[in-house]
Amino acid sequence: MYVTIRQFNKMASVQEAARRAQTGISPMLKGQKGFRGYYVFDAGEGAGGSITLFEDQQSALAPTRSPWFAEPLPDARNDACR
In a domain, 21, yes or no: yes
In a domain, 74, yes or no: no
Q: What is the pTM of this model?
A: 0.68
Percentage of the chain lying above the pLDDT 70 cut = 76
In a domain, 17, yes or no: yes
In a domain, 73, yes or no: no
Per-residue pLDDT tens digits for 19-42: 888 887 778 888 888 999 888 899
In a domain, 28, yes or no: yes
In a domain, 19, yes or no: yes
Yes or no: say if 26 and 36 are a contact pair by the CB < 8 Å rule.
no
In a domain, 10, yes or no: yes
69: Cβ contacts below 8 Å, ≥ 6 apart: 63
- Domain residue limits at 25: 2-55
Across the beta sheet with 2-8, the strand order is 2-8, 47-54, 35-44
d(CA 43, CA 28): 24
> Into how many domains does the chain fold?
1
Can you give the pLDDT at residue 76? Answer: 45
In a domain, 32, yes or no: yes
